Structure 1
Amino acid sequence: MRKTLTLLFAATTLTFGANLALAADRDIGPDEALKLRDAGTIQSFESLNETALKQHPGAKVEETELEEENGRYLYKVELRDAQNQQWDLKLDAATGEVLENQKDD
């Protein structure tokens, strides 16, 4: 009985923790993104793309996404360079700081 209660408690704790993690991250839709840009909360998408492209001259933007994670707006960009290598970048959407820049395997 005690083992069953322990397992039940562990499963409940894991489920609750996973739900909190999911609630902390959310995708930002186009209308909200434009409002954030217009309010000066985040940089323009053109500026953020330019910052990402400076990391890999000659690359092209394939996909972008704006998310809020733990109260911070993050701009995620997928680039493809001249050697056909894909790069995943994460930028702070407010400051333009490059937080991650890694090859996609």
Structure 2
Amino acid sequence: MYKHILALSCSAILALGSSALLADDDVRMDEVNGLVEQGTIQSLESLNEKALAVQPGTITDTDLDKHYGRFIYEVEIRDAQGQEWDIDLDASNGDVLEHRRDD
């Protein structure tokens, strides 16, 4: 009985650790061209244009992450009034996932 409990506990710990690894991974810039060439994600230029169409201003930061197997392109934009905005796009199709003012 003890062996079964120990085995289940170890399995649960490994599963939780694995899901944490899959939950949020930064994509390295050297990987981006391959993802674009494979058609996995849109070009960063295209995604930047889509973000600016949603929120005009100046892009101050970008980040490409993989969340639970989905590529998310995060864009920070400063508008003409100096307000910061965060835009999250699905990097595969450019759909806007979130558009929020940064507090």
TM-score above 0.5: yes
Give how far 1:31 is off.
1.1
- Scaled by the length of structure 2, what TM-score is found? 0.80
User: Structure 1 CA distance, aligned partners of 2:99 and 2:54?
Assistant: 8
Give how far 1:22 is off.
3.1
Which structure 1 residue ranges, 5 or more long, are not aligned? Answer: 1-8
Structure 2 match to 1:63: 61
- Scaled by the length of structure 1, what TM-score is found? 0.79
| Coordinate RMSD, CA, aligned | 1.9
Structure 1 match to 2:96: 98
Letter in structure 2 aligned against 1:65: D
Which structure 2 residue ranges, 5 or more long, are not aligned? Answer: 1-8
Alignment CA distance shift 1:104-1:21 (3 Å): farther
Percent identity, aligned pairs only?
A: 45
Give how far 1:51 is off.
0.3
Structure 2 match to 1:26: 25
Query: Structure 2 matches for 1:7-46, cutoff 5 A?
Result: 17=16, 19-20=17-18, 22-24=20-22, 25-46=24-45
The secondary structure found in structure 1 opposite 2:82 is coil
